Amino acid sequence: MDKHKPAPKFLNLLQIELPPGGIASIAHRVSGVLMFLSIPLVAWLFGLSLQDEQGYRAALDYLQCLPLRLLSLLLVWSLAHHLLAGLRHLFLDLEIGISRTRARTSAWVVNLGALALTVVYLGIWL
């Protein structure tokens, strides 16, 4: 932490050292947008799966294909991160855990917890 480091004149993403809370925050946003973009596909698959026996099988078959497997992995991470980061946000709104050390710790828990849940999913599903 050099106090005399000049203020950045442009956003160099490779030089910005985001604190854990910053990572949790931008990932909260990215995961939300990812889930938003997949809503039509998920809604369609859900409808297909409930339609009839054939639709149910077709939906399961679609979920087995590689692109959808990868997407489901991404969405599991998105959901896990968004949920954990959202809960952290709600607690911070209630002024619970707002000290710098506790907020940093909870940010680490969110960032790593989401990855851990994704690995668990990877172990079950793929």
Partner 1 sequence: MAVSRAAQGLRAWLLQRFTAVYLAIYLLAMTASLLIRGVADYSAWRDHFGEPLTGVLTAMFAMAVLLHVWVGMRDVLIDYIHAVWLRLSLLAVFGLVLFGSLLWVLRALALAALPGVN
Residues that bind partner 1 (CB under 8 A): 29, 32-33, 35-36, 39-40, 43-44, 46-47, 49-53, 56-57, 79, 83, 86-87, 90, 93
Q: Which is nearer to partner 1, 39 or 66 (CB)?
A: 39
> Rounded to the nearest whole angstrom, what is the least distance from the CB of residue 89 to partner 1 in the complex?
8
> Rounded to the nearest whole angstrom, what is the least distance from the CB of residue 3 to partner 1 in the complex?
30
Q: Which is nearer to partner 1, 101 or 119 (CB)?
A: 119
> Rounded to the nearest whole angstrom, what is the least distance from the CB of residue 110 to partner 1 in the complex?
14
Q: Which is nearer to partner 1, 33 or 65 (CB)?
A: 33
Q: Which is nearer to partner 1, 51 or 105 (CB)?
A: 51
What is the SS3 assignment for the chain? CCCCCCCCCCCCCCCCCCCHHHHHHHHHHHHHHHHHHHHHHHHHHHHHHHHCHHHHHHHHHHHHCHHHHHHHHHHHHHHHHHHHHHHHHHHHHCCCCCCHHHHHHHHHHHHHHHHHHHHHHHHHHC
